[in-house]
């Protein structure tokens, strides 16, 4: 038996924040942001919208595309660093809105690599246990809520959004997931973090204004590490499957920075026409980027059944990884 993606969905909030809007908040310029990151604009959730409100429309669209009812889901896995609340999981809150009553539900936190971690977990669960036939994987983030809008080093980078996909057990031997490589190195925990708001440094009124409840990043260091880590993990899955650069129909990298994506593609000898980019429109939506890309590409007819797609991501933890997919 194999596992296939039978539907995808995505959602981004309506509110557009342009580089010009950011110039009113911090000392930056459209030119700096575009040349250093490739970002023109990003989407920002309203105050009333929590992460599950972004996840819900993405999930509904994925279920519609899969042509199944929410009740058929055996599991819901939510990748997020911005849960609605500490307890219960955002996956449980989503389950309630979807009116599903039988699925297992849990959140998974692997920062920007969250979607790839969640796909690997869902895929392994379907493969190893006949009880699980259909699992919804959602990656959703309201990063605007943990963004320090006075820090020009980070606030220009992030946006809000959600991507979703449904994985289903199939009777055919063909498995869509050809190879996976997931990694983490907690010794780099300090270079990309939100340090306050958990049990180590509980939230206080003073902390809210201090920026310590927001994303802090040593961008230069992350930049260097991200390129080599993504290149290496891409090579791992390609080698494991005997696939060369010319066999890859699409490279779908985590959308953090256009320069990082271009350098990874160059090192892998994948020309830019085969690299999907939407960071210009949405910025970095952490775990959600790859799900949003896949949905846009599949709905837009860019990814066709049978094509080989290489997905790769890198984020806080540090975490990183790649998945080689035959759609």
Which residues have a catalytic role annotated?
112, 254, 284
Quote the least distance from Cβ 130 to ligand ACO, whole Å: 35
Nearest to residue 147, comparing CAs of 156, 138, 139? 156
How many CB atoms are closer than 10 A to CB 130? 9
In the set 223, 245, 262, 280, which binds ligand ACO (CB under 6 A)? Answer: 223
In the set 2, 15, 36, 241, which binds ligand ACO (CB under 6 A)? Answer: 36
> Is 156 among the residues that bind ligand ACO (CB under 6 A)?
yes
Per residue in 50-72, is it b (16+ CB within 10 Å) or e — as a string? bbbbbbbbbbbbbbebbebebeb
Stretch in the footprint of ligand ACO (CB under 6 A) among 11-19, 48-56, 219-227, 266-274: 219-227
CA 142 to chain CA mean position, Å: 12
In the set 77, 94, 111, 164, which binds ligand ACO (CB under 6 A)? Answer: 111
> Is 197 among the residues that bind ligand ACO (CB under 6 A)?
no
For residues 112 to 151, the per-residue mask of contacts with ligand ACO, x marking binding by CB under 6 A and - elsewhere, is x---------------------------------------
> Is 292 among the residues that bind ligand ACO (CB under 6 A)?
no
In the set 16, 28, 124, 280, which binds ligand ACO (CB under 6 A)? Answer: 28
- Residue 16 contacts residue 43 (beta carbons within 8 Å): yes
- Residue 175 contacts residue 70 (beta carbons within 8 Å): no
> Is 255 among the residues that bind ligand ACO (CB under 6 A)?
no
Residue written as tokens 């911005």? 82
Strand ranges of the sheet holding 160-170, from the earlier edge strand across to the other edge: 2-11, 160-170, 134-142, 75-79, 104-108
| CA dist 312 → 14, 40, 138, 142 (Å) | 27, 22, 17, 21
- With CB atoms as reference, the residue minimizing the distance to ligand ACO is 219
> Is 303 among the residues that bind ligand ACO (CB under 6 A)?
no
Kindly tell me the sign of the dihedral angle through the C-alpha atoms of 107, 110, 111, 112: negative
Strand ranges of the sheet holding 308-315, from the earlier edge strand across to the other edge: 177-184, 319-326, 308-315, 250-253
Question: CB-wise, 181 or 257, nearer to ligand ACO?
Answer: 257
> Is 226 among the residues that bind ligand ACO (CB under 6 A)?
yes
Question: CB-wise, 37 or 95, nearer to ligand ACO?
Answer: 37
Q: Which residues bind ligand ACO (CB under 6 A)?
A: 28, 32-33, 36-37, 111-112, 152-153, 156, 192, 215, 219-220, 222-223, 226, 256-257, 260, 284, 286, 314-316
């Amino acid at each position: 038996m194999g596992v296939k993606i039978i539907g995808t969905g995505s959602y981004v909030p309506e509110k557009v924040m342009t580089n010009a809007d950011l110039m009113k908040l911090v000392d930056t310029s459209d030119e700096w942001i575009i040349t250093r990151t490739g970002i023109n604009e990003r989407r920002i959730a309203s105050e009333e919208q929590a992460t599950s409100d972004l996840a819900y429309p993405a999930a509904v669209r994925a279920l519609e595309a899969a042509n199944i009812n929410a009740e058929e889901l055996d599991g819901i896995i939510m990748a997020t660093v911005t849960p609605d609340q500490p307890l219960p999981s955002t996956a449980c809150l989503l389950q309630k809105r979807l009116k599903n009553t039988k699925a297992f539900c849990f959140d998974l936190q692997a920062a920007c690599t969250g979607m790839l971690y969640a796909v690997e977990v869902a895929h392994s669960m379907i493969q190893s246990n006949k009880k699980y036939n259909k699992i919804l994987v959602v990656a959703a983030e309201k990063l605007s809520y943990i963004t320090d809008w006075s820090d020009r080093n980070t606030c220009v980078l992030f946006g809000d959004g959600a991507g979703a996909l449904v994985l289903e057990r199939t009777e055919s031997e063909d498995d869509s997931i050809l190879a996976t490589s997931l990694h983490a190195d907690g010794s780099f925990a300090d270079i990309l973090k939100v340090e306050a708001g958990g049990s180590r440094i509980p939230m206080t009124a003073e902390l809210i204004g201090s920026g310590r409840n927001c994303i802090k990043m040593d961008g230069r260091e992350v930049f260097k590490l991200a390129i080599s880590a993504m290149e290496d993990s891409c090579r791992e899955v390609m080698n494991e499957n005997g696939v060369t650069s010319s066999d890859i129909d699409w490279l779908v990298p985590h959308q953090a920075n256009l320069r990082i994506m271009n350098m990874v593609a160059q090192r892998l000898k994948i020309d830019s026409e085969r690299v999907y980019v939407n960071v210009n429109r949405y910025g970095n939506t952490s775990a959600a980027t790859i799900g949003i890309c896949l949905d846009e590409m599949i709905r837009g007819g860019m990814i066709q059944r049978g094509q080989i797609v290489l997905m790769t991501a890198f984020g806080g933890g540090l975490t990183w990884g790649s998945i080689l997919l035959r759609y």
